[in-house]
């Protein structure tokens, strides 16, 4: 078990992940309670998919009854702060992380299967109904900050999370028990829409990231014209975090390198963005999630 655990970790580092830890699956009632409270308060907005599979999200055994170990992985994507007239979150400057990470997960899963016959492995990145930040914290990777993102000591919060859940035992890492936010409240103070309604609690309906990426159709009246120059996602609460100011490291992943077309655009270029240009610039990019119509809506709300 120890040898296999070590080999898996070495392979994950070799594949380019910066962080890896192993969590013990269990039903954690506190996570379940917080998730249900969040949904009851309507903080998920129109993300009905958060509600639909709540039974799996709140209980890993409903999603994967045979779960015995959860390998939690972190990939650094940081490439700098946005200084453009219209801003796109730095996680979306390059290729879509879902595709990049999936390829790495397949390689890691194949490696595990080669070392351990008949193992059942479930790969997750973002879209699976599990609470990725909580599992990363339980795997010892970092803590959940007041802005609700998972922060690491050595890369800040600019890391994507992914998991491989196995039906075999591995050696677990100790849970990251510390909360290193201390008395800081920078993320709450600087959020332009007061979306962090309480420490560690986000109301998506007020969050620019939700509005520009997940919300379909026109914006509710109270959020008209309050996008603070963001046209896809928002990085403010992460940019002002002292842990990011101190420990951010440039990503070594070629696929996350900024597309120069995105960074050189001025306000007027965005205003005149055509469908053909959109398709060309955002081929294989996360920005395709909001579609041409969504991006045009976000641009027009910032004009």
Give residues in contact with ligand B12 (CB under 6 A).
31, 34-35, 38, 47, 50, 89, 91, 125-126, 130-134, 144, 147-150, 157, 159-161, 200-202, 204, 207, 209-210, 214, 233-235, 237
Q: Which does 73 bind (CB under 5 to 8 A by kind): ligand SF4, ligand B12, none?
A: none
The CA-CA-CA angle for residues 161, 104, 173, to 5°, reads 50
Of 56-64, 194-202, 249-257, 294-302, the segment contacting ligand SF4 by CB under 6 A is 194-202
Find which of ligand B12, ligand SF4, none residue 38 binds, CB within 5 to 8 Å per kind: ligand B12
Residue 72 has a CB neighbour count (10 Å cut-off) of 29
Q: Which residue is nearest to ligand SF4 (CB)?
A: 145
- By beta carbon distance, the residue nearest ligand B12 is 233
Q: Nearest-CA neighbor of 220 among 243, 202, 240, 204?
A: 204
Q: Under the criterion CB under 6 A, does residue 145 sit at the interface with ligand SF4?
A: yes
Between CA 248 and CA 89 the distance in angstroms is 15
The piece of 78-86, 117-125, 169-177, 181-189 that touches ligand SF4 (CB under 6 A) is: 181-189
Q: Which residues is 122 bridged to in the sheet?
A: 165
CB 169 within 8 A of CB 88: no
Measured from the CB atom, the residue of 164 and 234 that comes closer to ligand SF4 is: 234
List Cβ neighbours of 36 (8 Å cut-off, separation of 6 or more). 54, 58
Six-digit token string for 197: 């309604």
Active site residues: 126
């Amino acid at each position: 078990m120890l040898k296999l655990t070590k080999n898996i970790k070495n392979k994950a580092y070799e594949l380019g992940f910066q962080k890896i830890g192993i969590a013990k699956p269990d039903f954690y009632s506190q996570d379940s309670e917080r998730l249900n409270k969040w949904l009851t308060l309507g903080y998920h907005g129109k993300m009905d998919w958060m509600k639909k599979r709540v039974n799996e999200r709140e209980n890993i055994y409903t999603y994967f009854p045979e779960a015995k170990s959860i390998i939690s992985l972190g990939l650094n994507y940081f490439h700098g702060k946005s200084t453009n007239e219209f801003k796109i979150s730095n996680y979306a400057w390059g290729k879509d992380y879902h595709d990049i990470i999936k390829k790495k997960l397949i390689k890691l899963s194949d490696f595990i299967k080669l070392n351990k016959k008949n193992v059942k492995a479930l790969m997750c990145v973002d879209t699976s109904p599990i609470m990725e930040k909580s599992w990363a914290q339980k795997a010892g990777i970092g803590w959940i900050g007041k802005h609700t993102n998972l922060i690491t000591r050595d890369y800040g919060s600019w890391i994507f999370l992914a998991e491989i859940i196995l039906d075999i035992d591995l050696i677990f890492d100790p849970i990251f028990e510390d909360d290193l936010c201390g008395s800081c409240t920078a993320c709450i103070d600087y959020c332009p829409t007061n979306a962090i309604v309480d420490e560690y609690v986000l109301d998506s309906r007020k969050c620019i990231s939700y509005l520009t990426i997940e919300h379909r159709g026109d914006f509710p009246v109270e959020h008209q014209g309050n996008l603070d120059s963001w046209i896809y996602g928002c990085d403010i609460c992460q940019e002002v975090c002292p842990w990011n100011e101190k420990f951010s490291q440039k990503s070594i992943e070629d696929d996350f390198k900024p597309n120069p077309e995105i960074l050189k655009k001025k306000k007027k270029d965005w205003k005149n963005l055509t469908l053909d240009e959109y398709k060309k610039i955002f081929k294989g990019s996360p920005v395709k999630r909001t579609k041409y119509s969504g991006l045009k809506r976000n641009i027009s709300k910032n004009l």
